[in-house]
Amino acid sequence: MSHLNRRGFLASGVALSASLVFPAVGFAQTPPAPPPSGPFKLDPLAYAFNALEPHIDAKTMELHHDRHHAAAVNGLNAALKDHGQVASMRLETILVRLPDLPEEIRTAVRNNAGSHANHSMFWQVMGPNGGAPSAELTAAIDRDFGGMDKFKDQFNAAGGRLFGSGWVFVTVDSDGKLALVSRPNQDTPLMDGRRVLMGNDVWEHAYYLNYQNRRPDYLKAWWNTINWAKVSERYTAGSNGTLGI
């Protein structure tokens, strides 16, 4: 449903229920303004907030998704309010074209679009039913990192080295080659036109309630939350050039 249609639908729904409750007032009643909206939206989490316990606690997941990620989506929509042409682009296109954006919205878009993309990826690659990586992904991990254990060690070491807030990513190119990449703040390799297989959020809001200053423990525990079936799907899509966010 388009933004305009949804707004019209909501407005008529409000007017209809108002006329049922207050028949004397009927359609003279002005419906309340719709909530702020825009082209980008926050998808609900595909699993329960407590689904990743004990590795990531429910409260952290709820705040992370419903507050932090939601704020990024709202911030992005607000930044693009008067920039319809940018607002109509795909998120990955906006991210790779940041240098072309009007300067007055560039930083807000960089932070909020980056955050929206990073968190959308993050929820996807986690889940309660981990499974195992596909044979193709396993072979790529063996080839590019020397095996799963070394892969996790290198990834966690990169997470430990990150100063301040940021992300550790694994990129996948169209030949299926994997690479480890860290980025500060809400930057993402999508800004360089690369594709992200998976990544971990190393901002303190991702772990502080449960792990406080023990970031290495969080980095280690995070592997227990990985949805390898989904990551394997993303690997296939990355290798054939169809992977989006």
In the complex, which residues of this chain contact Mn ion (CB under 5 A)?
201, 203
Give me the least distance between CB of 122 and Mn ion, in Å please: 7
Which residue type, as a one-letter code, is found at position 125? V
* Comparison of 153 and 217: residue with beta carbon closer to Mn ion: 217
Here the tokens at position 52 are: 């990743």
Nearer to Mn ion, 204 or 217 (CB): 204
The residue (of 203 and 222) whose beta carbon lies closer to Mn ion is 203
| Separation CA 75–CA 111 (nearest Å) | 9
Three-class HEC string of 157-225: HHHHHCCCCEEEEEEECCCCCEEEEEEECCCCHHHHCCEEEEEEECCHHHCHHHHCCCHHHHHHHHHHH
The nearest distance, CB 162 to Mn ion, in angstroms, is: 13
Which helix (H) or strand (E) element contains residue 54? none
Shortest Cβ contact with Mn ion: which residue?
A: 201
CB of 125 to Mn ion, least distance (A): 13
Kindly tell me which of 203 and 218 has the beta carbon lying closer to Mn ion. 203
Q: Minimum Å distance from CB 120 to Mn ion?
A: 11
Q: Given the complex with Mn ion, which of 133 and 199 has the nearer CB atom?
A: 199
**DSSP structure class, residue 239:** H
Give min distance, CB of 180 to Mn ion, in A.
19
Residues ≥6 apart with Cβ < 8 Å to 89: 97
